[in-house]
Amino acid sequence: MPGPTPKPPSARQRRNRVTTAASLEAPPVTRVELPVLTSSTQCVAEVDRKSGCPLPAVGHDLKHFAQYVIEPHDFMGARIEPHPMTVAWWNTIWASPMVAEWVDADVPGLIALAILWDGFYRTGDARVHAEARMATREFGLSPLSRRQLQWEVKRLQPAAKPKPGTARPRRRSGPAVLGVLDGGKGKAHAS
């Protein structure tokens, strides 16, 4: 017995089609350098505006702000260079194949992520680390996130083969090895 008559092509709908799917075109992402931050607590000002007197070195960091009452004043914040581990991380991600998937709109998020990693490298705070790990997933920078995004990283170079003429070490066999396997008693085995 024949089945039901098929629907006309105009009435057929695929149920597994994603309605928000889109293909966007974008130029390659532009790499930026890590920003140099300024401290909001380390003062490099030479003199106090009110008194004209030099400001004491004590009292211009977080520890001393909590202990002393300091009059508010304008000052130039000290430059905070990125931690060396942050610089290494930044160079590594920009050399990775994930760069091909990023667009310029991702760069501010990457800078915020770099600031998070810098905070972790400076303090070792587990909460900052957790936040940085979570934000890392947004850019395909972890194996799990690449799997969720269905990105496949293909290796360009095969494993290195031994050069011709270099001998591999021979595997030992015979009574010496067998003696070790028997507990080192040095028994000779008859073959």
What are 78-122's pLDDT values in tens digits?
788 999 999 999 999 999 999 999 999 999 999 999 999 999 999
Other Cβ atoms closer than 10 A to 26: 10
Other Cβ atoms closer than 10 A to 103: 13
pLDDT value, residue 136:
94
pLDDT value, residue 176:
56
pLDDT value, residue 8:
83
pLDDT value, residue 119:
93
Q: What is d(CA 92, CA 102) in angstroms, rounded to the nearest whole number?
A: 15
Residue that is written with structure tokens 């532009």 in the block: 30
Tell me the residue type at 179: G
Instruction: Give the residues of the chain that fall short of pLDDT 50.
Output: 45, 54, 58, 191
In 24-170, DSSP assigns E strands to 37-43, 77-80
pTM: 0.59
Which pairs count as long-range contacts for 118-124, CB under 8 Å and 24+ apart, including other chains?
A: 118/82, 118/83, 118/86, 121/83, 121/85, 121/86, 122/83
Q: Token pair of 99, please? A: 């760069």
pLDDT value, residue 41:
63
pLDDT value, residue 166:
61
Radius of gyration of the chain (CA): 32
Tell me the residue type at 69: V
Helix (H, G, I), strand (E, B) or coil at 142: coil
Q: What's the whole-number average pLDDT of the chain?
A: 76
